[in-house]
């Protein structure tokens, strides 16, 4: 079963993800919460809000990429900032993809890009 971990502090965005995601998924409101969840959970994909209370999403991604257990899980950064330098920063810490908010602008494009990553992740056979 494909699982997605959503790390998102904004209740509205969490509701939105809940409404449009077709995968089974878990939700964390902060990097600290997500770190707890990841002790028992290996998702196929992590949807990572960049702006989080406490540790920010990119620092957390760097941490995940440094851990051999979580390093293979693709991280898709979600941010309101669309500047090239923001995208660069996300790539530099190991994010596979960078999606700009609001995703409501085009939820279908968003879902499409996401399914691509989930399919690729399961095709790699990393986990089932």
Taking the complex as a whole, the smallest distance from the CB of residue 29 to Mn ion amounts, in Å, to 9
Taking the complex as a whole, the smallest distance from the CB of residue 13 to Mn ion amounts, in Å, to 7
Nearer to Mn ion, 10 or 69 (CB): 10
The number of CA neighbours under 13 Å toward the Cβ of 91 is: 6
Nearer to Mn ion, 9 or 63 (CB): 9
Nearer to Mn ion, 12 or 126 (CB): 12
The footprint of Mn ion (CB under 5 A) covers 9, 49, 51
Q: How many CB atoms lie within 10 A of CB 61?
A: 25
d(CA 128, CA 124): 10
Taking the complex as a whole, the smallest distance from the CB of residue 86 to Mn ion amounts, in Å, to 14
CB 28 within 8 A of CB 7: yes
Nearer to Mn ion, 9 or 33 (CB): 9
**Nearest in space to 45 (alpha carbons), one of 97, 93, 90, 108:** 97
Taking the complex as a whole, the smallest distance from the CB of residue 120 to Mn ion amounts, in Å, to 26
Ramachandran angles phi, psi of 31, nearest 5°? -60, -40
Q: Report the residue number whose CB is nearest to Mn ion.
A: 51
């Amino acid at each position: 079963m494909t699982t997605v971990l959503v790390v998102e502090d904004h209740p509205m965005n969490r509701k939105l993800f809940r409404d449009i995601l077709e995968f089974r998924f878990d939700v964390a409101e902060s990097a600290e919460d997500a770190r707890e969840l990841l002790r028992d959970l290996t998702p196929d994909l992590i949807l990572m809000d960049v702006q989080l209370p406490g540790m920010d999403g990119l620092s957390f991604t760097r941490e995940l990429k440094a851990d051999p257990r979580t390093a293979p899980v693709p991280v898709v950064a979600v941010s309101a900032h669309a500047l090239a330098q923001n995208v660069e920063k996300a790539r530099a810490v190991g994010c596979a993809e960078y999606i700009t908010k609001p995703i409501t602008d085009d939820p279908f494009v968003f879902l499409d890009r996401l399914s691509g990553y989930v399919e690729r992740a399961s095709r790699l056979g990393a986990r089932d």
